[in-house]
């Protein structure tokens, strides 16, 4: 029999559980009942009514002054049967006769009341005159309530505050005495539906992490050869790349309990709570081993120690980290428990946390490339009603640098845009609008721009488009608009080639293309404006990176001042003043040379640029096809596009083979039936 469903009462009812708090409630109700059961009905009155209707008619038996504050009036028994005294003639409960007091009122002062009472009875005989009685009473029950109720109120407030501080949702933190319990959410193996099939892209990361799944499924396979199961795996990558999803897929594939919590769940205002929660977490995980503990945003508690010496450091956070280090690789063993963690700030983590023996595997979950983006689009487009002409290759090509979360957002935004336009299916243009909205923001067609400013913006964007189209290594243009979006007055969309390495020529071409806007302003108008602010910011950072980080300057040489550890202070520079001057000189030279090259490209194609600027002023938005009409087809093709075409051809061939095999099998089945 299950003890949890058994009643504490004799012959207990199934599902009924007695609470000790009910006894307190019954006692309270009992005392309240004693106070009110059998009490007399006393009605409030005043001096005038008392004098005219009771005293002058000689119906008053006696008057009792209590605590020098109130006068209680007792009516003679023989008059209680009258209609005017019907309300006060009976007790509260039952039909028993109310012996009094029947009426009361505030007297003000005793002397004044006594004088008024004497004056009212001047004409009365001595036998008929009434003299007041004086009593002093103590309200014990009222006094008890007077100090019990405030005390109960403060206790309730204290319990409420402590409960809120302990955390309301999840784990033992929801109870005041369980504040040191873990807040980790246990997802049972039966509830985990995510597998590797649901994780598109991330092929490299999935390949690495598959081993962990194999460890959890069959640990004896490795331990019998003397190997040790890894203690942990650290997922490192930019936001939105699918680190949390990958951890869930591991738990789903391995069919083991999955403890999920955030790094901030350990942090509390009370000293020692974080360390206590770490201990409790590993204790619970060990009880359900084999199990996975997943700590998201581990940099909240895993930052390098000793960095806050000036402010006295956060001892509570460091204590939590120390406990985590001990639990992961200390004297205690946690067999069958694998810790997975995710962060996008691996550079700030403590070295003791990332060493082998704690996080044995460091898995980099990078932004998806072209082929991975195609796979992610295929997953997120399944629930969306697409147009028959939709090309997934096109969508993957249009979203360079997008994470998995960004792609999911694009698909959702495209569906919303299509629904807003009352379409039955999501079309190609809806996806393009979604990308534009996510990157550039909402269109501001109502913004007031003068004709001169509009012309300057048009030629500025035409300059960018022309230079990028004419240079081999510059990113090819997709779309140009002079409609204001967000903070920008105009925008140009490019499709950068996804490179693993970047040469000097490629960086110079990109700088030249970015300078094309300002160069066009000088060539066609003879003046420059502030519209090139973002372009100048971009090219300045690129030029300084070339000279001081990548060693792409002959004058400075093969030197890099890049600090990958993040230990370098911003107050000091790792080079002399002479070297700083040389770096500044080289940056200025690179920028001026590329600016001059951009002007030369625009001057040699002046007629075509003017035609492009005029068309942009007219249409406000132009696309790649418009540039091909004016400048001709671009000479250089992208390697990624060739790979996509190759993959599509291979898929089409495999589909044809599969269909042929199905047809052959059906023919064989029919021949067998005929023979029978």
306: left (phi over 0), alpha (psi -120 to 50) or beta: left
- Phi and psi of 663, rounded to 5°? -65, -45
Rounded Cα distance between 132 and 129, Å, is: 10
Beta bridge partners of 622: 480
Q: How far apart are CA 475 and CA 494, in angstroms?
A: 6
What is the 8-class DSSP label of residue 53? I
CA dist 457 and 464 (Å) reads: 11
Q: How far apart are CA 39 and CA 262, in angstroms?
A: 61
DSSP label at residue 78: G
The DSSP code sequence of 294-337 is EEESGGGT-BPTTS-TTTT--HHHHHHHHHHHHHHSSSS--TTE
Pairing between β-strand 258-262 and β-strand 291-296 as defined by DSSP bridges: parallel
Of 461, 497, 521, 594, the catalytic one is: 461
d(CA 500, CA 63): 104
Sheet holding 232-236, edge to edge: 185-187, 258-262, 291-296, 337-343, 232-236, 361-364
Cα(26)–Cα(642) distance, integer angstroms = 82
Closest CA to 257 of 161, 341, 189: 189
SS3 readout for 381-444: CCCCCECCCCCHHHHHHHCCCCCHHHHHHHHHHHHHHHHHCCCCCECHHHHHHHHHHHHHCCEC
Residue with tokens 């250089």: 636
Three-class SS state of 2? coil
Please count the helices (runs of H) and the strands (runs of E) in the chain.
Answer: 22, 14
DSSP state of 13: P
Sequence-ordered alpha helix ranges (H) in 229-309 = 243-254, 273-287
461 is catalytic: yes
Catalytic residues: 461
């Amino acid at each position: 029999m299950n003890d949890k469903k058994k009643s504490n009462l004799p012959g207990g009812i199934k599902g009924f559980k007695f609470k000790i708090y009910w006894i307190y409630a019954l006692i309270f109700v009992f005392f309240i009942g004693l106070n009110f059961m059998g009490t007399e009905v006393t009605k409030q009155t005043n001096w005038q009514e008392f004098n005219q209707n009771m005293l002058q008619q000689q119906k008053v038996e006696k008057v009792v002054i209590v605590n020098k504050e109130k006068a209680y009036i007792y009516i003679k028994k023989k008059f209680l049967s009258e209609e005017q005294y019907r309300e006060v003639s009976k007790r509260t409960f039952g039909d028993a006769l109310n012996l009094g007091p029947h009426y009361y009122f505030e007297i003000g002062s005793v002397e004044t009341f006594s004088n008024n009472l004497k004056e009212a009875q001047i004409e009365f005989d001595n036998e008929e005159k009434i003299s007041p009685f004086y009593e002093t009473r103590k309200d014990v029950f009222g006094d008890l309530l007077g100090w019990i109720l405030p005390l109960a109120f403060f206790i309730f407030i204290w319990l409420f505050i402590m409960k809120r501080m302990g955390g309301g949702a999840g784990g033992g933190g929801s109870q005041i005495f369980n504040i040191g319990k873990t807040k980790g959410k246990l997802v049972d193996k039966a509830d985990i539906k995510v597998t590797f099939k649901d994780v598109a892209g991330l092929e490299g990361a999935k390949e690495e992490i598959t081993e962990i799944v194999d460890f959890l499924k069959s640990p004896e396979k490795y331990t019998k050869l003397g190997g040790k199961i890894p203690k942990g795996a650290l997922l490192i990558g930019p936001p939105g790349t699918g680190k949390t999803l990958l951890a869930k897929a591991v738990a789903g594939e391995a069919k083991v309990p999955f403890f999920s919590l955030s790094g901030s769940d350990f942090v509390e205002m009370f000293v020692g709570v974080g360390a206590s929660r770490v201990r409790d977490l590993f204790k619970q995980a060990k009880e359900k081993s084999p199990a996975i503990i997943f700590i998201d945003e581990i940099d909240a508690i895993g930052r390098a120690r000793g960095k806050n010496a000036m402010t006295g450091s956060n001892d509570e956070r460091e204590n939590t980290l120390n406990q985590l280090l001990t639990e992961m690789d200390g004297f205690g063993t946690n067999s069958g428990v694998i810790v997975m963690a995710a962060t996008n700030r691996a550079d700030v983590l403590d070295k003791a946390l990332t060493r082998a023996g704690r996080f044995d595997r460091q898995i980099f979950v990078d932004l998806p490339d072209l082929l991975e983006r195609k796979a992610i689009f295929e997953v997120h487009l399944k629930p969306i009603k697409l147009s028959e002409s939709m090309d997934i290759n096109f969508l993957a090509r249009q979203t360079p640098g997008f994470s998995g979360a960004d792609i999911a957002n694009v698909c959702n935004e495209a569906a919303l845009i299509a629904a807003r336009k009352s379409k039955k299916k999501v079309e190609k243009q809806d996806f393009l609008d979604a990308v534009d909205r996510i990157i550039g923001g909402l269109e501001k067609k109502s913004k007031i721009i003068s004709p001169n400013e509009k012309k300057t913006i048009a030629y500025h964007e035409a300059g960018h488009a022309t230079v990028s189209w004419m240079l081999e290594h510059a990113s090819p243009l997709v779309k140009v608009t002079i409609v204001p979006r967000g903070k920008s007055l105009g925008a140009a969309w490019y499709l950068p080639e996804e490179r693993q390495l970047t040469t000097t020529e490629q960086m110079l071409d990109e700088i030249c293309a970015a300078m094309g806007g300002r160069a066009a302003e000088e060539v066609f108008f003879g003046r420059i404006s502030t519209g090139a602010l973002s372009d100048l910011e971009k090219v300045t950072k690129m030029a300084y990176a070339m000279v001081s980080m990548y060693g792409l300057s002959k004058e400075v040489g093969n030197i890099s001042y890049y600090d990958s550890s993040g230990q370098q202070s911003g107050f000091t520079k790792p080079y002399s003043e002479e070297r700083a001057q040389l770096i500044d000189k080289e940056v200025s030279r690179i920028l001026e040379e590329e600016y001059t090259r951009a002007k030369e490209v625009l001057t040699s194609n002046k007629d075509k640029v003017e035609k492009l600027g005029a068309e942009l002023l007219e249409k406000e938005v132009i696309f790649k096809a418009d540039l091909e009409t004016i400048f001709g087809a671009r000479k250089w093709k992208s390697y990624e596009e060739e790979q996509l075409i190759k993959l599509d051809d291979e898929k089409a061939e495999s589909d044809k083979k599969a269909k042929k095999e199905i047809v052959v099998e059906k023919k064989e089945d029919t021949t067998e039936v005929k023979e029978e």
